[in-house]
Structure 1
Amino acid sequence: MRIGILGGTFDPIHLGHINPALDVKQQLNLDQVWLMPNHIPPHKNTTVVSSHHRLEMVKLVCQQYPQFKLCDIEINRNTPSYSVTTLTLLAQQYPNDEFFFIMGMDSFIQLPLWHQWQSLFALCHIALCQRPGWSMDTHSEMTKQLLLRQATPDYLNSPTHTKYGKIFCINSKLTDISSSEIREMLAQGLDTSSVLTPATINYIHQHKLYC
């Protein structure tokens, strides 16, 4: 199978996560997208709500969208969630599958700061979500990587294509909002129906999260 992987703290999970993942699945004709909540994210100090609540909110989204599947490999780990460690384990557990690591441009630009980041290209492809018309510093390391590795979806139909190492640029309906902004809206009692699914809103209200 061809599987997209979208990791994050999902604190809470929102349409800014969901819509790009759906776009990746459609444009690359993936079989599934796995939503992978972190337990101990290496780039953040902490999360606002517990791993249990974040996991349950992702489960609700997976119930609503049959394109998604929960991947709990990181949230059940008691060490920092390094992506290269996770992808190594997934490649070992599912040797016949092809993985596409989904990320936005902000994360992609910061990739050289990630633990053993270059090893990712030996484990998966990258599905890079950004609005049309974006640009990068032409002298940056990631611009070089993009020029070297960029491929179109047609590449996946080639009999000589490899299961890893390419970057696919996805035109995505990105929602210009962050989880921290949504948490602030929730704390103020503002309407979040444009950025959260009804099931997520109900869960947050039921458990009095982000108050």
Structure 2
Amino acid sequence: MKIGILGGTFDPIHFGHIRPALEVQQQLALDEVWLMPNHIPPHKNGTHVSTDDRLAMAQAVCEAFPPLKLCAIEALRESPSYTVTTLQELKLQYPQHEFYFLMGMDSFLGLQSWYQWQDLFELCHLVVCQRPGSNMSVEHPMHAVLTKHECVPITTIETESIEASIATKSGLIFRVSITEQPFSSTQVRADLYQGLTIKDALPVCIQRYIKQHQLYASKAINSPQKS
């Protein structure tokens, strides 16, 4: 199967995560998109609610949106999660699958700072989600990487190249235009803390979970949790 992977802290998960994942799934005809909550993100000190809560919220979203599935491989790891390590494990567990790792253009521009980033092309395809009209400068170091790996529209390449692209299970870059979403987890947490309405940002299942478990109150905002 063709499996998209969307990693993140998901603290909390919101439509800024969900809608782009569904758009990519439809545009690239992926069989599923796996939501992969981090446990200990290498670039963050911790999270505002427990890993169990973030897993439960991601699972609730998967139940509400069937193309999405939960992948707990990083959440269950007791050490910082590096993408290349995770993909190596997934390839061993699911050799039959073809993986598509989703990231924003900002993340792609900073990819050279990622741990063993060049090995990603041996493990998966990259899906770079960008807002309509946004472009990368030709002077940027990652422009050469994009040029080398990008899968261009079928109408512009030779038949042999099409067949080669179909045959390969990793190493391509797909640029996908997505609808811009005006949501961020930071803003959602701030709005919850102030008691503001967040219905547009969160699916009903997440609103219900946050209310039932009294998440993102003053204590949770000010005291990041690591478990």
| TM-score, with length taken from structure 1 | 0.96
Residues 1:159 and 2:163 are matched in the alignment = yes
2:211 matches 1:205? yes
Aligned amino acid, residue 184 of structure 1: A
Q: How does 1:144-155 map to 2 (within 5 A)?
A: 144-152=144-152, 154=154
Identity of aligned residues (%): 53
**Contact 2:15–2:183 (CA under 8 A) maintained in structure 1:** no
1:156-179 deviations in whole A, cap 9, x for unaligned? Answer: x94322111111011111213211
What's 2:37 paired with?
37
**In terms of mean alpha carbon deviation, does 47-56 or 140-149 score higher?**
140-149
**Count of aligned residue pairs for this structure pair:** 210
Q: Spell out the pairing of 1:111-126 with structure 2 (5 A cutoff).
A: 111-126=111-126
Amino acid at match of 1:160: A
Task: Tell me the secondary structure at the aligned position of residue 176 of structure 2.
Answer: strand
Shift of 1:137: 2.9
Indicate yes or no: 2:194 matched with 1:188: yes
Q: How does 1:26-175 map to 2 (within 5 A)?
A: 26-152=26-152, 154=154, 158-161=162-165, 162-175=168-181
Output the CA distance in 1 between the equivalents of 2:153 and 2:216: 40
* Two-structure CA RMSD over aligned residues (Å): 1.4
DSSP 3-state at the match of 1:194: coil
Q: TM-score, normalized by length of structure 2?
A: 0.89
**Higher mean C-alpha displacement, 91-100 vs 8-17:** 91-100
What 5-or-longer segments of structure 2 have no aligned partner?
218-227
> Is the 1:27–1:153 Cα contact (8 Å) retained in structure 2?
no
Q: Secondary structure of 1:146's partner?
A: helix
Q: Name the SS of the counterpart of 1:144 in structure 2.
A: helix
The gaps in structure 1 that reach 5 residues or longer are: none
Deviation track 1:76-95 (CA, whole Å, cap 9, x = no partner) reads: 00011100000011111111
The Cα shift of 1:152 comes to: 4.0
Distance 2:19 2:48 in 1: 23
Matched to 1:196, the amino acid is: L
Hey, what's the Cα distance between the residues in 2 that align with 1:143 and 1:7?
Answer: 23
The aligned amino acid for 1:202 is: R
More moved, 168-177 vs 182-191:
168-177
In structure 2, give the amino acid aligned to 1:95.
P
- Structure 1 distance, partners of 2:191, 2:152, is 38
SS of aligned partner of 1:160: helix
Shift of 1:153: 6.5
Is the contact made by 1:25 and 1:31 (CA closer than 8 Å) also made in structure 2?
yes
**Alpha-carbon shift at residue 41 of structure 1 (Å):** 0.5
